[in-house]
Amino acid sequence: MKVVIITGGSRGTGASTAKICAARGMGVVLTYNRNPAAADALVASIAAGGGTAVALKLDVGDVGSFLAFREEVASVLRTSFARTDFDFLVNNAGHGLYNPIVSVTEEEFDGLFAVHLKGPFFLTQTLLPLIVDGGHIINLTSATMRVAFAGVAPYASFKGGLEVLTRYMAKEFADRKIRANSVSPGAIRTELGGLNEEFEATLAGMIALGRVGEPEEIGGVIASLLSDDNRYINAQNIEVAGGYII
C-alpha cells in the first residue's frame, strides 16, 4: 500500500485530497492543528469506506516540533502500515489573509511566511529520510502568483517562493528519483477562500468556466499526479483554476 502524508488534511482541499487518495487505495496520514474533532471524523469516514487513515497534530509554523513529528510518523508507519517509509508528501497546510500592503503587520507577514514557505521547506527536509526513492512531493501554491489580486501580497509572494522551491526540490532530489510538483488552485470554495455570495459572483465573472471550484477538484488533481499515470511529470506547477483571467 502506498502511503501519503497530507498536511492540513482535516478540512477543505486537504480533506478532499485525503478522501480521494484513500478511495484510490492509498494509506493516509493527515495532520491537523486546531481541530482534532474534524480530523477524527475524517479518519472515521475513511475507515468506514474501507480505507486506512491516521491523524497527527502538527503546527507547520513551528519548525522546532518537526523532529518529534518525524518520530510520530515513523511510529505510525510501523504500527498502522507495517512500513518504515512512505511514498508521498503533500504540503497543503495554510491560512489566508486579506489585507493591503499598507496595513500588513510584521506579525501577519511572519505568520504567513512560517506556514507557507519556511514550514514546507523544513518539514520536507526533516521527513526526507523517510520518503522512498522514487517518491513524490506536491506543494500547494496559488493562482494569485500569476494574477495579482489586491490584499493577498504576502500570501501570494510566499506561494511564489514555494513554486521556485518545488523546482529546486526536483533538481536536488533527482538522484533519488523523487519528483516534485506544485498544484496551484484558483478560487475554491473552502474556509481559506473566504467566499461570500457577492465575492463568489465577482470571482466567477473572472473565470472562463463561470464558477468557483470545489475542493474535490483540487484533490482529484493531486491524487492523479501521485498515480503512475503521471510518473513523468516533474518540476511543474499545475494551475487548477477553471481558466482564471486568461
Please report whether residue 80 resides in a domain.
yes
> How big, in percent rounded to 5, are the helix, strand and coil portions of the chain?
50, 20, 30
Please report whether residue 82 resides in a domain.
yes
Confidence of residue 146 (pLDDT cuts 50, 70, 90): very high
Selected catalytic residue, list 32, 98, 155, 232: 155
Q: Note the pLDDT tens digit of each residue in 77-101.
A: 999 999 999 999 999 999 989 999 9
Please report whether residue 198 resides in a domain.
yes
Count of Cβ atoms closer than 10 Å to residue 79 Cβ? 10
Strand partners, 171: none
Please report whether residue 236 resides in a domain.
yes
Residue-averaged pLDDT of the chain = 96
Pair 19, 42: CB distance under 8 Å: yes
Instruction: Specify the pLDDT at position 207.
Output: 96
In angstroms, the CA 34 to CA 55 distance is 12
Whether the model pTM is above 0.75 = yes
Q: Where are the alpha helices (DSSP H) in the chain?
A: 12-23, 36-48, 66-81, 106-113, 119-127, 153-172, 197-204, 215-226
3-state secondary structure of 38: helix
Instruction: Specify the pLDDT at position 166.
Output: 98
Count of Cβ atoms closer than 10 Å to residue 137 Cβ? 24
155 noted as active-site residue: yes
Grid cell in block for residue 46? 475513511
Pair 163, 141: CB distance under 8 Å: yes
Q: CATH number, domain at 203?
A: 3.40.50.720
Instruction: Specify the pLDDT at position 190.
Output: 80
Percent of the chain with pLDDT over 70: 98
| Number of domains composing the chain | 1
In angstroms, the CA 201 to CA 93 distance is 26
The whole domain housing 31 covers: 3-240
In angstroms, the CA 213 to CA 204 distance is 9
In angstroms, the CA 159 to CA 154 distance is 9
Confidence of residue 149 (pLDDT cuts 50, 70, 90): confident
Measure CA of the first residue to CA of the last residue in the chain; give whole Å: 40
Q: Which residues, at least 6 apart from 228, have a Cβ–Cβ distance to it below 8 Å?
A: none
Q: Note the pLDDT tens digit of each residue in 46-57.
A: 999 999 999 999
Which amino acid is located at 43 in the chain? V
Report whether pLDDT(243) > 60: yes
Instruction: Specify the pLDDT at position 197.
Output: 84
Q: Note the pLDDT tens digit of each residue in 179-220.
A: 999 999 999 998 655 677 888 999 999 999 999 999 999 999
Please report whether residue 199 resides in a domain.
yes
Beta strand 131-140 with 179-185 is parallel
Please report whether residue 246 resides in a domain.
no
Q: Note the pLDDT tens digit of each residue in 5-42.
A: 999 999 999 999 999 999 999 999 999 999 999 999 99
In angstroms, the CA 11 to CA 5 distance is 14
What is the CB-side half-sphere exposure of residue 191 using CA atoms within 13 A? 9
Instruction: Specify the pLDDT at position 193.
Output: 55
Report whether pLDDT(104) > 60: yes
Please report whether residue 245 resides in a domain.
no
Instruction: Specify the pLDDT at position 194.
Output: 60
Most distant CA pair in the chain: distance in Å?
Answer: 52
Instruction: Specify the pLDDT at position 192.
Output: 58
Instruction: Specify the pLDDT at position 199.
Output: 85
